[in-house]
């Protein structure tokens, strides 16, 4: 029995004698191979568990059966599910709706205060008719459309006012310089110039010298 391990070692050496030339393999290859084999074993175990789970689920699916009394109630069940979804969404949005109602009520109270009504006074009886609302909306729209025209006319008015002020200032300076006073020519001289111009045009003569007649 003592020589049994020695014989086993010699047998293994003889079996692996063909693999003596291992210089072409990368260092540590045996460790990477061992790790890969270990991961393969783990994956095989996971595959076996997945197959077992699938078999159980297939068995449960096969065992499932629909109650023959349910199909007539399918529409009612679906309708109930739809209503449940609507109710759930309404409950989720309820806080927002309450805030909106509170804001609207505050605006109504402000309106009552502006028109001098008590806080609990109903507003329905004094609401304007649709025709009146439409007329007010049209007026508001017209006012917005005419605002640009009014602004343009206002600017033109301001520009003209500035121009008139400038002209008035120029007139005032000319008046202060005495340019509004006569410069030594009377009406008779002007009339003589006019007669001379007409005569020259008829006779082709040289211009006359202007002067007043005595």
For residue range 19-76, list pLDDT tens digits in order: 556 666 677 777 888 889 899 999 999 999 999 999 999 998 888 777 777 777 888 8
Planar angle of CA 124, 130, 134, nearest 5 degrees: 135
Confidence of residue 6 (pLDDT cuts 50, 70, 90): low
pLDDT at residue 208, rounded to an integer: 53
H-type alpha helices, the chain: 3-15, 29-63, 74-114, 130-176, 187-203
Q: Which two tokens stand for residue 152?
A: 């343009």
Instruction: Please check whether residue 112 is in contact with residue 123, taking contact to mean a CB–CB distance below 8 angstroms.
Output: yes
In this predicted structure, the answer to whether residue 135 has a pLDDT above a threshold of 50 is yes
Distance separating alpha carbons of residues 101 and 26, to the nearest angstrom: 78
pLDDT at residue 13, rounded to an integer: 66
% of residues, the chain, pLDDT over 70: 80
Residue carrying the six token digits 């008015």: 157
Distance separating alpha carbons of residues 80 and 36, to the nearest angstrom: 55
pTM: 0.30
Span of 105-109, 126-130, 199-203 with lowest mean pLDDT: 199-203
pLDDT at residue 213, rounded to an integer: 43
Instruction: Please check whether residue 206 is in contact with residue 200, taking contact to mean a CB–CB distance below 8 angstroms.
Output: yes
Q: Higher model confidence: residue 11 or residue 113?
A: 113
pLDDT at residue 14, rounded to an integer: 67
Confidence of residue 214 (pLDDT cuts 50, 70, 90): very low
How far is the CA of 137 from the CAs of 9, 110, 123, 131, 132, in angstroms?
107, 21, 20, 10, 9
pLDDT at residue 20, rounded to an integer: 56
Q: Higher model confidence: residue 175 or residue 164?
A: 164
Q: Which two tokens stand for residue 125?
A: 């009886």
Neighbour-count burial for 42-61, b at 16+ CB within 10 Å, e otherwise: eeeeeeeeeeeeeeeeeeee
Distance separating alpha carbons of residues 197 and 204, to the nearest angstrom: 10
pLDDT at residue 184, rounded to an integer: 66
Residue 32: closest CA among 40, 43, 24: 40
How far is the CA of 74 from the CAs of 38, 67, 83, 86, 128, in angstroms?
53, 12, 14, 19, 50
Residue-averaged pLDDT of the chain? 81
Quick one: 166 exposed, middle or buried, by C-beta within 10 A (0-12, 13-18, 19+)? exposed
Please state the rounded mean pLDDT for residues 67-91.
85
pLDDT at residue 186, rounded to an integer: 67
């Amino acid at each position: 029995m003592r020589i049994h391990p020695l014989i086993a070692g010699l047998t293994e050496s003889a079996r692996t004698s063909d693999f003596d030339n291992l210089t072409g393999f990368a260092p540590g290859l045996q460790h990477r191979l061992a790790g890969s084999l270990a991961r393969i074993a783990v994956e095989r175990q996971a595959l076996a568990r997945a197959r077992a789970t699938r078999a159980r689920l297939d068995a449960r699916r096969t065992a499932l059966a629909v109650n023959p009394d349910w199909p007539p109630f399918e529409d009612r069940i679906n309708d109930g599910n739809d209503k449940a979804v609507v109710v759930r969404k309404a409950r989720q949005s309820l806080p927002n709706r309450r805030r909106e109602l509170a804001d609207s009520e505050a605006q109504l109270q402000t309106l009552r205060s502006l028109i001098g009504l008590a806080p609990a006074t109903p507003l329905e009886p004094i609401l304007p008719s649709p025709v009146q609302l439409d007329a007010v909306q049209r007026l508001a729209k017209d006012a917005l459309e005419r605002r640009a025209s009014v602004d343009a006319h206002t600017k033109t008015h301001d520009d003209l006012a500035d121009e008139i002020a400038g002209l008035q200032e120029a007139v005032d300076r000319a008046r202060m310089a005495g340019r509004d006073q006569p410069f030594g020519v009377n009406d008779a001289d002007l009339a003589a110039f006019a007669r001379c111009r007409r005569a020259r045009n008829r006779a082709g003569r040289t211009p006359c010298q202007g002067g007043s007649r005595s």
